[in-house]
A = this chain, B = another copy of it.
Amino acid sequence: MLDQSRRRNLSAAPFLEAAAGRTPSRTPVWFMRQAGRSLPEYRRVREGIAMLDSCFDPALLAEITMQPVRRHDVDAAILFSDIVVPLKAAGIAVDIVPGRGPVIANPVTTAADVAALPVLDHEIDEVAQGIALILEELSDTQALIGFVGAPFTLASYLVEGGPSKNHERTKALMHSDPSVWHALMERITTTVIRFLHTQVSAGIDAMQLFDSWAGFLTERDYRAHVLPYSKQILDSVAGMIPRIHFGVATGELLPAMATAGSEVMGVDWRTPLDVAASRIAAAAGPKVLQGNLDPALLFAGAEPLQAEINLITQQARTAIAAGHATGHIFNLGHGVLPSTDPQAITDAVAMIHQQ
């Protein structure tokens, strides 16, 4: 049984009200990658500290998680972590190389590699301690969103050995040796669920399943080789906390992804919210929408930014009025870009709160 005693009771948090399909006191907003390189205070505290080390330092990960909440008045904190944290904790040799991304020392290609792949079998205490520190500082209108990477994206890193432009080895494995593929996905899923449960027991208020690379799959590959595992992860915390499911460039996958069970669907900026809502509702009934400002609009100045925020809000309202969605959490349609001016983020949050 999962320990749920640390869950806060936040009846007035706009993010949680919207995630539950109720009417929030204001349009809630948070931004993917709001904690990170766009903030000078982040670059300061990370100086000389490797990315993965910072994810295993309770005080530091809590500080980084809180920085954008203090600065931008967002309605939710997103746990500062990385999708490979549970792999590292399981004992897999992985490092995050600046300018490149996660690099795996021994890529997984054979059945023997999969059988030897370590699975996470313990709590990641540093993250649990970090979450406790974050919850002490958050107000009761501010939610803490936990975060895990989806098994397809993790599998791609493990098979390719690092970031890949085309994921050809991963797709080849999936098609040429499905039994090895499914064994790999099962092991990754066990690890991800264990890490997610650590976060839930530590008291996160919601979670996002982040599938960076799912948008590189056809819908049929996604359904056959990926969806069952993402569903297992979401199922493992069903009824406990609101669940968000997001992948980049997943317009064609929304109907499939919507059946994985989340209450909230994150939408990439390429798909208008009302179009996304129709696809989601047709596949799995109406859900709460999250998104979907193009991160590049934060570089365009106040007037185009305001126009785009108005348009996205209007598309969400159209979807809700049509019965295709049950709410809207404002976000980007992908993560904050590192060179974004932090003031543009603060300004966008203020504009969104006035909607």
Chain A residues proximal to chain B, CB less than 8 Å: 166-172, 174-176, 215-220, 249, 251-252, 269-272, 275, 294-297, 299-301, 304, 311, 337, 339
A-B contacts, 21 listed (Cβ < 8 Å):
A166-B295, A167-B296, A168-B295, A168-B337, A168-B339, A171-B297, A171-B299, A171-B300, A172-B296, A172-B299, A174-B300, A175-B300, A175-B301, A176-B304, A215-B270, A216-B270, A218-B269, A218-B272, A218-B294, A219-B272, A249-B270
Report the bound CA distance from A315 to B311 in whole Å. 35
A304 in contact with B215 (CB, 8 Å):
no
Q: A294: shortest Cβ distance to chain B, in Å?
A: 6
B299 in contact with A168 (CB, 8 Å):
yes
- 8 more contacts with CB within 8 A, not counting A166-B337, A215-B270, are A166-B295, A167-B296, A171-B300, A175-B297, A175-B300, A176-B301, A217-B270, A252-B275
Identify the closest chain B residue to A339 (Cβ): B168
Identify the closest chain B residue to A164 (Cβ): B296
Known A-B contacts A176-B304, A252-B251, A271-B252; A296 and B171 likewise in contact (beta carbons under 8 Å): yes
A171 in contact with B218 (CB, 8 Å):
no
Q: A38: shortest Cβ distance to chain B, in Å?
A: 12
Give the residue of B215, B270, B294, B339 whose beta carbon is less than 8 angstroms from that of A171. Answer: B294
Report the bound CA distance from A312 to B139 in whole Å. 53
Report the bound CA distance from A296 to B300 in whole Å. 36
Instruction: Chain B residues near A301: list those with CB within 8 A.
Output: 172, 175-176
Give the residue of B166, B251, B297 whose beta carbon is less than 8 angstroms from that of A296. Answer: B166
Instruction: Chain B residues near A220: list those with CB within 8 A.
Output: 311
Instruction: Chain B residues near A269: list those with CB within 8 A.
Output: 218
Give the residue of B218, B219, B304 whose beta carbon is less than 8 angstroms from that of A175. Answer: B304
Report the bound CA distance from A346 to B297 in whole Å. 44
Report the bound CA distance from A269 to B295 in whole Å. 25
A300 in contact with B215 (CB, 8 Å):
no
Identify the closest chain B residue to A253 (Cβ): B270
Q: A279: shortest Cβ distance to chain B, in Å?
A: 11
Identify the closest chain B residue to A173 (Cβ): B300
Give the residue of B174, B270, B339 whose beta carbon is less than 8 angstroms from that of A252. Answer: B270
Q: A213: shortest Cβ distance to chain B, in Å?
A: 12
Instruction: Chain B residues near A166: list those with CB within 8 A.
Output: 295-296, 337
Identify the closest chain B residue to A299 (Cβ): B172
Q: A332: shortest Cβ distance to chain B, in Å?
A: 11
Identify the closest chain B residue to A307 (Cβ): B175
Report the bound CA distance from A249 to B269 in whole Å. 13
Interface-centre pick from A169, A249, A252 (highest chain B CB count, 10 A): A252
Instruction: Chain B residues near A170: list those with CB within 8 A.
Output: 296
Give the residue of B174, B249, B272 whose beta carbon is less than 8 angstroms from that of A249. Answer: B249
Instruction: Chain B residues near A299: list those with CB within 8 A.
Output: 168-169, 171-172
Identify the closest chain B residue to A167 (Cβ): B296
Instruction: Chain B residues near A337: list those with CB within 8 A.
Output: 166, 168
